[in-house]
Structure 1
Amino acid sequence: MTATRANVHGTAIVLGTRGFLITGPSGVGKSKLALACIAAARQAGEFAALIADDRVDLLLEHGRIVARCPATIQGLIEIRGAGIGKIETAPAAVIDWAVLPVRAPFDPRLPPDGETLPLPLGRALPIVRVPVEDGASALAILRVLLAEKLGF
């Protein structure tokens, strides 16, 4: 039987009406990427919020993947090397995409077509890879990569 609830390692954010699960190994820059996207969206006058950092509760609700924050870490984000910060959060978001922060050198140079992140819920999310070291706005990169697919 497939689980309808799972707790996963990652960071969940909402930008406008789209939810993103940022995933990857510890130290890759998930929290930094989340903060950069949230700050850029808010500066542009758009809604953006953290859902959860480090651990994310995923639920299947009406056939959609929904992210929520475990109560013990609500409103907290780890800023590697600096400590734990407090941040305004949203209670939940439907998750549309998995975001994988990547660092140079990129191997392969281009990601595989149709790449997905399997979840313990028996579902998978499409992956978008975002470079985290090149100085370009993480939100601008997401917008370019998802423009055609989501009208983002």
Structure 2
Amino acid sequence: MSDMTNNAHGTAIVIDGTGLFFSGPSGCGKSGLAFDCLAEATLRGLPNALVADDQVLLVRQNERIVARRPDAIRGLMELRYSGIVAVHSVEEAELHFVLLPVSADESMRLPPENERLSLTPEIDLPVIRVPFWSRFPLALIFAQIAMMQAKRS
């Protein structure tokens, strides 16, 4: 078990017990995509919450990867061009997947099989790529998770 906490740039949310970490360069749409997923979950009646936006504290606890929020940004998300909004949040959640927002000009039409992303030297998670223009990003994410789970069984 490691108790070393790493500060990672991204957005962490939890939807129906599934922890999602949105990663990518500044300005790529992480917060907006996470916000869309939270809104879609609310419309579907699924429990959901923000863990942290912009700064996420990551720690490995045995086999679990846990995201925590810095108290100073509790419940706040910065949505580019819209400002800061307040959303329901939780102090921490286990993470299961990394989400990478992709644009239409990405050269790779299909993502690599079993892709993983290292968030820290000791923390890596499976990757799901999500197009910015997806009308129902959460539905796409859950469909990808179902495919990954089917391939493992």
TM-score, with length taken from structure 2: 0.91
Task: Indicate if the aligned counterparts of 1:4 and 1:121 stay in contact, CA closer than 8 A.
Answer: no
The one-letter amino acid of 2:133's match is E
Q: Distance in 1 between matches of 2:108 and 2:62?
A: 36
Q: Could you say what the CA RMSD is over the residues aligned between the two structures, in angstroms?
A: 1.6
Query: Unaligned stretches of 5+ in structure 2?
Result: none
Partners of 1:110 and 1:101 in 2: CA distance: 14
Distance 1:19 1:79 in 2: 20
CA-CA distance at 1:143 after TM superposition: 1.6
Deviation at 1:3, TM superposition (A): 7.1
- 1:2-151 maps to which residues of 2 (within 5 A)? 4-134=4-134, 136-150=135-149
Asked whether the 8 Å contact 1:60–1:121 carries over to 2, the reply is no
2:3–2:61 CA contact under 8 A, matched in 1: no
Counterpart contact for 2:18–2:96, Cα < 8 Å: yes
Which amino acid is the alignment partner of residue 113 of structure 1? E
Q: CA deviation at 1:150?
A: 4.3
Q: Residue type matched to 1:139 in 2?
A: L
Amino acid at match of 1:126: P
Distance 1:150 1:47 in 2: 21
Name segments (4+ residues, structure 1) moved above 3 Å: none
**More displaced, 57-66 or 124-133?**
57-66
% identical equivalent positions? 41
What amino acid is the match of 1:14?
Answer: V
CA contact (8 A) 2:116 2:125 kept: yes
Compared CA separation, residues 4 and 63, structure 1 to 2 (3 A):
farther
Gaps of 5+ in 1: none
TM-superposed CA distance for 1:119, in Å, is 2.4
Give the deviation of 1:149 after TM superposition: 2.8
Deviation digits for residues 73-102 of structure 1 (CA, Å, limit 9, x no counterpart): 111100101211111101111000000010
The answer as to whether partners of 2:60 and 2:123 remain within 8 angstroms in 1 is no
Deviation at 1:121, TM superposition (A): 4.7
Q: Secondary structure at the match of 2:28?
A: coil
1:146 CA drift (Å): 1.2
Helix, strand or coil: the match of 1:119?
A: strand
